[in-house]
Structures are given as C-alpha cells and as structure tokens.
Structure 1
C-alpha cells in the first residue's frame, strides 16, 4: 500500500453521526479500494468503529468534552506523524479539531469552513446547507473532490455485530432465542422534545408482550427513569437494559431483535445499520436532516406547523408533535403477531 492511500478521519462525537459516517468510509473504499482508513474520535464511539469493517484502526482521543487543550492536542498530533497519513478528513467544524491533523503534518487536510481554521485546514470547502441538507451528505462530500457530484444512491451504513458476544448476552440475560424480540429505544440524549411519551412506549410493549414477544428496553443510565416508568406500566415484563450494557453490548443485543421502535437518537441509526425493521419517531427534529439510512425504515412524523423547532424542550409547553402521535398509529406498522413467527 502506498502512503497516498492512508487517511485519518477526525470523527464526530455523537453515536448517530458516527453511524452516518460509515457511508463516507464505504465510499472511500469504493473509490480507493487500497486505502487505509483510521478514525480518531472520543472513546465512547470506538465500539461502533470496531463493527465497521472499513476501519483499519480506531484512535481514542483523550481530550475532555468542551476543553480546548491546545497544547495537549498539538502533542497528540505530533505523536501521529510517524503514521505517514497523507490526507485528513475533518467531520467536525471546530477550531480545536483542526489542530491535531495540522500538528501531525498531514499534507492534505479537508474540512468545511469553520471556526477560524484558515491554514489549519488547507482543503477548505464551503458548506451549502441548502444543497447539502442531510448530515450524511455533508460527510460524503468531504470524501469527494470538489468537482464531483454526490452519487444519487449513497452507501448504506452496515454494522457487523459480534455474533459470539450476542450469543453470550442472550444467555446472560436469560432471553429465549425461540421467541421474537422487540427493541424499544425510548431515550434521546438531546432532550425531552425528541422523546415519545413513556406511556406510549408502554402501550406498544404491552401489545407485544401479550402477543408472545420479548421486549428489550435500550438506553444509557440517563434513560433509566424512562425505562423504569415503562417497566412499571408493563408489570416489570420487559428486559430493562438502561445503563446495564456497554454500547458494544447494546449493538450486539439489538442484532437479535426482529423489530425496533426508536426516537430520533443514536440507537435509531444503529438499528437501521443493523438492517432491523425500524419505526423511527420524530418530534422536534427533522427527518429530512438525519433520517435513518435504511430504505425500509418507517418514519413517524406529524409535521405540525410548529415542527421542526429543534428545541430540547417544547417551547409551547404541549409537545403535540409527539403526544398527538398515538400508539394506535404506530402499531400497525410493526405487525406484532404471534403467527408471523410460528415454527
């Protein structure tokens, strides 16, 4: 492999954005089959990168969130000089993210015009948000030459679950492999204006449980109050995983599901990338901006006059964009029937 094929990507911090970045990685591999792609990103995203076959090496960034740490970033970048990267692609638009590839001496540093990054980014692209409406389109265009038009069909993210770990978790959590599984993702780190009400998730869960399904509640420790509420409304019949699994374990467990219902969150993108039949629920956010990258995903979005507001909390106090989206509207798209999975 020539040194010209060695690319360092400065990856995003959000789980969903990292999943979408796999479309870029796939395009790079398609255009330059011999290239090596390394990704530098916060440590919590590394389980995702481990399940992307396009990635050669994942590099955990040690910097604390929100801290500039100029000297530390410069020293970290200097340590990467021996790697011989010839291109860096910056998927983040901050000044601090541009320091590392500059310090690493990477000759071609590609990114969008951002926070005073002149000189640090020497292949600077203007960001036309009206033309590039989707996050995935913005990531993809950075992997192409400035004159190249985006392909009409973008590569779909496709995570490769760890089957052995999934089998281990199946037994550890005493799940029945012969019974269908529904995954529910009721959290959204961004804020409550992206969270379908817990009682609605509970109605879907009860419907599935009564039909003989197993129900797993996915989420971080921050989602534990929501999943606890769902558990209470389902007589403790779900498997509550909030805060009890690593991201890698959550990915592998989700690979066992036959259906997934999720808010617009990182786990929504994970489900789509695992090729799961998915119902994606949108409230304050815009499905045109960050849709699940799966052609068969069902998007539930009311598109009210006040939507999308992109707020963390409903500024009008009613949350109608989610409250008026009833479980009765969602359940028909799931087809949660016992007969479908009869042996």
Structure 2
C-alpha cells in the first residue's frame, strides 16, 4: 500500500479541547504520509471543528453519546464502514468500547494505547510510557508513528481555519461590530468549579478593558449563560452595553469564527481555551486545579496565570479542601498584566511582519 493511497480512520475523543489537540496527530499523519486520506469518527458536535482542519477529508458522526455501550449500534456502524476499506485505524480514547467499531470494520491495522484490556481488538497495541510522553499531544502523535519512533523535532500546533463568509453572517445575526478592540472571555469549564476563575474576577478584567475603549464578548454554552450574565451584571451600568453575553447564542462553528476576531482572550483551562490557541489569538489562561504541563495552550502568544499553590494541581472537579484558594486568591491584576505583556508581543510581531 503506497503512502498516497493510505486510508486512515481516527476514532476521535469526546471533549472539545482534546479534539482540537488531536489535530496535531492529523498534521503528523499528513506530513508522514503525503496524500493519505484521514477520516475521523467522532461525536456530531465536533463536526464544525473537523471541518476547519484541512488535513481531515471527512467527519463521520458517532451516533452514540459519551459512555454509551450499545453494541448493536457500534457493530452496525463497523459493518457500514467496511465499504471504505480503511488500511489503518487509530483509536485515541482508551476505553474498550472505542476500539470495537474498527474491529467490526475489519481494518487491518488497529493502533491504540493499551487502556481497558483491548487485547484482540487492537493489533498494534502500545504501552504508554508517561515519562516519555508527558504531553497529551505527544500521546496522540506517537500513535501516528511506528512504535518507538522519535517525536518530531518540532511538535505541530493546531491551527483552525475560519469561514469569512459565515463569520460576517454571524456578526450580522448577533448585531456585533468590530470597530473597537475585542476582549473575549471564556469563563466556563465543563470539568467543574475547580477550574473556574470567579465571575467577579472576570468582571474586574472586563471593566478595565472596557474603560480603555475595548468591547467584551463572553462565549460559552447555554449552561454558562447565567454565570456570564452575572459577570455582565458586575460591570458599571455605563459599560454594560459594550459587553455582549453570547453564551448559548452561538453554535460552535460561530464561536470559532467569532473568536478569530479577538484582540485578546481570557479563559479558564477549557475547550474554548484550546480553540483560542488554535486560532493563535493572544491568550491569558487561568489555571487552578489543573496544570499546563499536560494540556497547555499550544500557541506561542499565550501566558499561563497561576498561583502555583502547594495544594495544586489537584485535578479535582471541586476543591477537596473546600476553599478553592488557587482561583479565588488569584487577583485580576495578574491577568491584566499578562494581557499587557501579550499586547506588547503582538505589536512587535505586527511591526516585524
């Protein structure tokens, strides 16, 4: 089988940030096997992300939700995919069930980390050395290389493409303008409260930038909407009109396109943080219960803001000590200073270009 005709099916992850980081694998495969075909089997919500990754030919919707077994549905999908005659399947999740479809599709080479006792399902079974691959993207990329092969000298960074026409449509539909600098806030985090910087702190950052003549867009899901509205409510009344709460108002595709217009982004460690990084926007990320040592933002123009307390990172959804000092004691001034430094770097880059 020539590299040019190689057909690869990737069974993708179930979280926004992980799917963005998975682009590093797609980029590695496209580099290693020029002309190869890469299709990705993943939850339907991820289609807008995959459509913005030029390495991916096709997004195939996984008809099951996260955690659902439903063997008959997985078997039916595997039988349907036999017609594609894939040469290689790469399974990114570590669950047993995630390896079933490729087996039923009779894909000759099936790669993945050992995970949940997947002997027989994966015939290119790798044993993860966490010391050798400390980053999640290294664990993804390694599955696209021969076992034991060296990592690329320079690790790729995700880069999402945007749709200018759809972006203009979203601006029109939401009544947004781009004449003044845009600060995008991403205060949500699916994982839990221990990853969420306080709403009052976000409001302090927003107030300062609004007073400098910026505008603020707050992005998030429908479940983030009330919290985002509380941020807006913390602002001086005279400034609230320049702050738009877009949580729950945008589809994922629109959020990606709109975020590409950001002059700067402030985010928790979240899926939207990884999208901002993949759009290479100036980005200040607040870390509390988690660490940038495993899933850092992958753009060069970012700054991590953390107190680095002795009790963090704990990687818990809720603070086991009950105080969440790692976030509550982190002042807005630290984030504002990071934004100032990022602005200087951005201005220098513009001058050089």
2:299 to 294, 315, 321: 294
Partner residue, 1:275: 280
Distance 1:334 1:125 in 2: 41
SS at match of 2:89: strand
Unaligned runs of 5+ in 2: 348-353
Matching of residue 167 in structure 1 with residue 168 in structure 2: yes
Say if 2:280 and 2:300, in contact at 8 Å, map to a contact too.
no
Q: Deviations over 1:148-186 (max 9, x none)?
A: 111232111000011111111222222222211110000
Partner residue, 2:79: 78
Q: How does 1:114-129 map to 2 (within 5 A)?
A: 114-129=115-130
Matching of residue 246 in structure 1 with residue 251 in structure 2: yes
Distance 1:221 1:296 in 2: 29
Partner residue, 2:264: 259
Range that drifts further, 76-85 or 130-139? 130-139
Distance 1:225 1:318 in 2: 22
Say if 1:4 and 1:86, in contact at 8 Å, map to a contact too.
no
Say if 1:184 and 1:262, in contact at 8 Å, map to a contact too.
yes
Unaligned runs of 5+ in 1: none
Say if 1:93 and 1:111, in contact at 8 Å, map to a contact too.
yes
Considering only aligned residues, what root-mean-square deviation do their CA atoms show, in Å?
1.5
Say if 1:8 and 1:40, in contact at 8 Å, map to a contact too.
yes
Q: Deviations over 1:37-79 (max 9, x none)?
A: 0000001111100100000000000013221111210111010
Distance 1:51 1:328 in 2: 35
Matching of residue 200 in structure 1 with residue 205 in structure 2: no
Say if 2:5 and 2:35, in contact at 8 Å, map to a contact too.
no
Range that drifts further, 81-90 or 59-68? 59-68
Partner residue, 1:92: 93
Q: CA deviation at 1:332?
A: 1.6
Q: TM-score, normalised by structure 2?
A: 0.93
Q: How many residues align structurally?
A: 338
SS at match of 1:80: helix
Partner residue, 1:325: 330
Q: How does 1:1-343 map to 2 (within 5 A)?
A: 4-234=5-235, 235=237, 236-237=240-241, 238-335=243-340
Say if 1:112 and 1:127, in contact at 8 Å, map to a contact too.
yes
